[in-house]
Amino acid sequence: MKKVKIAQFGLGPIGLESLRLAAEQPELEVVGAVDHDPAKIGRSLVELTGLRSLDGLRVAADLEELFRETEPEVILHTAASNARTTLEQLRPALEFGVSAASTCEELIFPAWKYPALAKEYDALCRHTKARLVAVGVNPGFVMDLLPLCLTGVCRTVERIEVERVVDAATRRQSLQAKIGSGQRPEDFALQLQAGRAGHAGLQESVALIAHTVGWKLDSIEESGEPVIADRPIRTKFFNVAPGEVCGIHQRATGLVGDTVRITLDLQMYLGAEQPHDHMVIHGRPGLDVTVNGGVAGDDATVASLVNVVPRLLAAQPGLRLLNELAVPSWTGGRD
314 is a domain residue: yes
Cβ atoms within 10 Å, residue 29? 16
63 is a domain residue: yes
331 is a domain residue: no
164 is a domain residue: yes
> Residue 65 and residue 84: Cα distance in Å, rounded?
22
What is the distance between the terminal CA atoms of the chain, rounded to a whole angstrom? 9
Please give the residue range of the domain that contains residue 94: 4-136+299-324
What is the pLDDT, as a whole number, of residue 175? 87
- The pTM assigned to this predicted structure is 0.94
Percent of the chain with pLDDT over 90: 90
> Residue 165 and residue 212: Cα distance in Å, rounded?
25
> Residue 298 and residue 295: Cα distance in Å, rounded?
9
**Residues whose CB is less than 8 angstroms from the CB of residue 68 and which lie 6 or more positions away in sequence, other chains included:** none
Q: Indicate the pLDDT class of residue 191, thresholds 50, 70 and 90.
A: confident
- Residue 19's SS3 state is helix
206 and 83 within one domain: no
242 and 217 within one domain: yes
169 and 183 within one domain: yes
330 is a domain residue: no
211 and 92 within one domain: no
Q: Would you say the C-alpha torsion 323, 327, 333, 335 has a positive or negative sign? A: negative
Residue 335 has pLDDT above 60, yes or no: no
Residue 104 and residue 81 in contact, taking contact as beta carbons nearer than 8 Å: yes
Q: Taking Cα atoms as reference points, which of 84, 272, 86 lies closest to residue 175?
A: 272
335 is a domain residue: no
- Mean model confidence pLDDT for the chain: 95
59 and 119 within one domain: yes
What is the pLDDT, as a whole number, of residue 18? 97
82 and 211 within one domain: no
Q: Indicate the pLDDT class of residue 333, thresholds 50, 70 and 90.
A: low
What is the pLDDT, as a whole number, of residue 118? 98
112 and 50 within one domain: yes
> Residue 265 and residue 47: Cα distance in Å, rounded?
41
> Residue 74 and residue 221: Cα distance in Å, rounded?
35
Mean pLDDT, to the nearest integer, of 60-78?
97
41 is a domain residue: yes
113 and 161 within one domain: no
177 and 131 within one domain: no
159 and 120 within one domain: no
Q: pLDDT tens digits, residue range 113-129?
A: 999 999 999 999 999 99
> Residue 214 and residue 208: Cα distance in Å, rounded?
10
314 and 237 within one domain: no
- CATH number, residue 93: 3.40.50.720
Cβ atoms within 10 Å, residue 273? 6
114 is a domain residue: yes
255 and 156 within one domain: yes
Residue 235 and residue 177 in contact, taking contact as beta carbons nearer than 8 Å: no
Report the number of distinct structural domains present in the chain.
2
> Residue 107 and residue 319: Cα distance in Å, rounded?
9
| Amino acid at the residue 30 | V
